[in-house]
Structure 1
Amino acid sequence: MNPFLLNNYLGPDYFCDRQEETEILLKNIHNLSNTAVFSQRRIGKTALMKHVFYLLKKTQSTIYLDIFPTSSLKEFTDYLATAIYKEFPIHKSIGRKFWEHIKLLRPVLKINALSGEPELTLDISQTEQIEKSLPQLFSFLDQQEKKVVIAIDEFQQILLYPEKNVEALLRTIIQNLHNISFIFLGSDSRLMIEIFNSTKRPFYGSTNFMTLKKIPKGEYVSFIKNSFHAVGVKMDEKIPEMILSLTCGHTYYTQRLCHEIYADQITLIREKEVKETLYKLVQQNEAVYFQYRNLLTKTQWKTLKAVTSEEMVYKPYSQEFIKKHDLGSTSTLKRNLEALVDKAIIYHNLSVEEPYYEVEDKFLMRWLQNE
């Protein structure tokens, strides 16, 4: 089997490092202390949660809720009901209790035609009904014998809901629960900081914080070597470091490149094979990259290429950077960077120590460099 997984979790043997982060989350969970996790997109926060849930599966009930597709409090409620149903399906006694608990909300169970997954919708529409239904769902979980862990991914999405009081409602419900710990995950650091670190917001002071960074180079080098070795693939000594250099150590792009190298049944990996595989991956996405050029303004495209050429830009408003890439005025550059960050094409790391800008998609970055 391909040892470099992209979208699923099969156990610790296929999971790289994150030992420190795992221990922190487990400690917080055991002490019923909530955690807010900030990270760049595709850096591995979902895999980390699945790893933690794997370690907890015998002692606690675990619920993972990705609310990125939701656009309202009603959809959030339906997603939560569906996640609870998946954890406690109706053929189990707890599942039957859950169905009994929410029967007044007239639940309707459907099967998604594309994914084949069950989906639960509640017959509620008015804001007042929804605000009464959410506490009922959480109350059911709070009454279980086992402790419950709920991970809510892309939590910053609640700021885009049309309802005005979502943060206050959720905070009020959560602070009255005694058997549930929460992990709030988000890939938009600016919005997550606004939710949890602003003294004016309901969630201020209610969680521990964790910034999920890239996996340390030494750990990733060992993981790549050992994973290929375990399936009988040999490589030149410097290949793992070369792979990490090409992907900037970003988890998804590293996994994807290694995944494709193995999928191509290469038994001896040299520099040539790595470059050929990367080129193939870049070519597969070329049509999308050309669309970026068509959708962005000329100055936005020039700004993107400037960030690409530097790979990481720590001082974007320095005269040296602006003149080197002919980026116009500081105000124009600021607008272009903000637009590219909003479109999730450029990532703005808000680290207090060293804030910087970089291209989100490492394969796009290599394609632009090659162009």
Structure 2
Amino acid sequence: MKNIDNNSNTAVFSQRRIGKTALIKHVFFLLKKKQSTIYLDIFPTLSLKEFSNTLATAIYREFPIHKSAGKKFMDFIKLLRPTIKINALSGEPELMLDISQPDQIEKSIPQLFSFLDQQQKKVVIAIDEFQQILSYPEKNVEAFLRTIIKNLHNISFIFLGSDSKLMIEIFNSAKRPFYGSTNFMVLNKIPKEEYISYIMNSFVAAGVDMDVKVPEVILNLTCTHTYYTQRLCHEIFADRFLFITEKDVVNTLYKLIQQNEAIYFQYRNLLTKAQWNTLKAIAAEKTVYQPYSQNFIKKYDLGSTSTLKRNFEALVDKALIYQNLAVEEPYYEVEDKFLMHWLQSD
């Protein structure tokens, strides 16, 4: 909030499903009365053209056509021949721009940002999974976007990402266009003591009592990861226990694991034997601080260092493991905590 008030841009990164999106939506709720807020998730986008359409759709949803600003927006982009369609999966309206040539794309994105920059109210834009721009086929995407953004005066940007390595490269490398353009914020896991209190109070408020050790057991099993903690707690609550024991928590966890077992077998079939063994070794350790140490390699018979490096890179690329670089001692861990327990019991 302070960065927004000071017209500073912010780069936020954390592990997937820790709560970045929920945090931004809460911030937008607080800002809504005095500022316009635009949220776009570009993870599904594969090019600048798709980025343009996603941005246009996000603007259209903030400024719907039945409002005066929405009518101005449609008139502002009429040369791009916008068409509205309904997303078959979400049922939400989407805006499609008639752009196919590179020069059209290069003009469309500045036009869209220009419209926002001309609004009377300040605009805050959150771009989720910003590191996705690195996969676009067009050249110099970072420089192209940075050139546009640095000339805007009425917009604050929040760049969110779940790949800490790529986000650090984009914003912290002196050779990159976005270097020095943002303030950093690392979204860490909720402190364990605070989470224990929250879990206990939430269940008690719903009329459910529990053994005093239960919240800590839940957090130990989920490694204090927001999504898996919420999922496990939801499943426990759905079972309608009047009094929750440690055994109830463990049984519920393994019920969830069994529900996902078919997916886990698919993972195994998609990985090489060496990659699968590496994944199992990481699960057994929970956190791996020195992945190429001889102790780790020999303990799990993981082959040569060069092969192991390729396996780690493949598992990170497939989002099966996460490399946390935003700490004093970087480490690797299995992304899916339920998968981690399944691997430990395999």
Q: Identify the residue that residue 226 of structure 1 maps to in structure 2.
A: 201
2:39 aligns to what SS in structure 1? strand
2:13 aligns to what SS in structure 1? strand
Which amino acid in structure 1 is aligned with residue 151 of structure 2? N
The yes-or-no answer on 1:79 pairing with 2:50 is no
2:302 aligns to what SS in structure 1? coil
Q: Identify the residue that residue 336 of structure 2 maps to in structure 1.
A: 361
**Among 82, 91, 95, which residue is 2:70 paired with?**
95
Which amino acid in structure 2 is aligned with residue 38 of structure 1? F
Q: Identify the residue that residue 200 of structure 1 maps to in structure 2.
A: 175
The alignment yields a C-alpha RMSD, in angstroms, of 1.0
TM-score scaled to structure 2, two decimals? 0.98
Q: Identify the residue that residue 99 of structure 2 maps to in structure 1.
A: 124
Instruction: Give the distance between the partners of 2:338 and 2:321, measured in 1 at CA.
Output: 13
Displacement of 1:352 after TM fit?
5.1
Which amino acid in structure 2 is aligned with residue 243 of structure 1? I
Q: Identify the residue that residue 283 of structure 1 maps to in structure 2.
A: 258
Instruction: Give the distance between the partners of 1:231 and 1:107, measured in 2 at CA.
Output: 48
Instruction: Give the distance between the partners of 1:114 and 1:304, measured in 2 at CA.
Output: 33
Q: Identify the residue that residue 57 of structure 1 maps to in structure 2.
A: 32
Displacement of 1:222 after TM fit?
1.5
**Among 313, 317, 323, which residue is 1:342 paired with?**
317
Q: Identify the residue that residue 140 of structure 1 maps to in structure 2.
A: 115
1:358 aligns to what SS in structure 2? strand
Which amino acid in structure 2 is aligned with residue 305 of structure 1? K
Q: Identify the residue that residue 14 of structure 1 maps to in structure 2.
A: none
Instruction: Give the distance between the partners of 2:318 and 2:185, measured in 1 at CA.
Output: 25
Which amino acid in structure 2 is aligned with residue 260 of structure 1? E
Q: In 1, are the aligned partners of 2:186 and 2:326 still within 8 Å (CA)?
A: no
2:37 aligns to what SS in structure 1? strand
Q: Identify the residue that residue 268 of structure 1 maps to in structure 2.
A: 243
The runs of at least 4 consecutive aligned structure 1 residues that moved more than 4 Å come to none
Instruction: Give the distance between the partners of 2:64 and 2:327, measured in 1 at CA.
Output: 45
Displacement of 1:351 after TM fit?
3.1
Displacement of 1:342 after TM fit?
1.1
TM-score scaled to structure 1, two decimals? 0.91
Instruction: Give the distance between the partners of 2:209 and 2:145, measured in 1 at CA.
Output: 52
1:71 aligns to what SS in structure 2? coil
Displacement of 1:135 after TM fit?
1.2
Instruction: Give the distance between the partners of 1:225 and 1:216, measured in 2 at CA.
Output: 15
**How many residues are matched?**
346
Displacement of 1:221 after TM fit?
1.0
| Post-superposition CA distance 1:132-168 (Å, at most 9, x none) | 1111111111111111110000001111111102111
Which amino acid in structure 1 is aligned with residue 268 of structure 2? R
Displacement of 1:126 after TM fit?
0.8
| Post-superposition CA distance 1:9-52 (Å, at most 9, x none) | xxxxxxxxxxxxxxxxx000111100111111111111111111
Q: Identify the residue that residue 210 of structure 2 maps to in structure 1.
A: 235
1:37 aligns to what SS in structure 2? strand
Which amino acid in structure 1 is aligned with residue 270 of structure 2? L
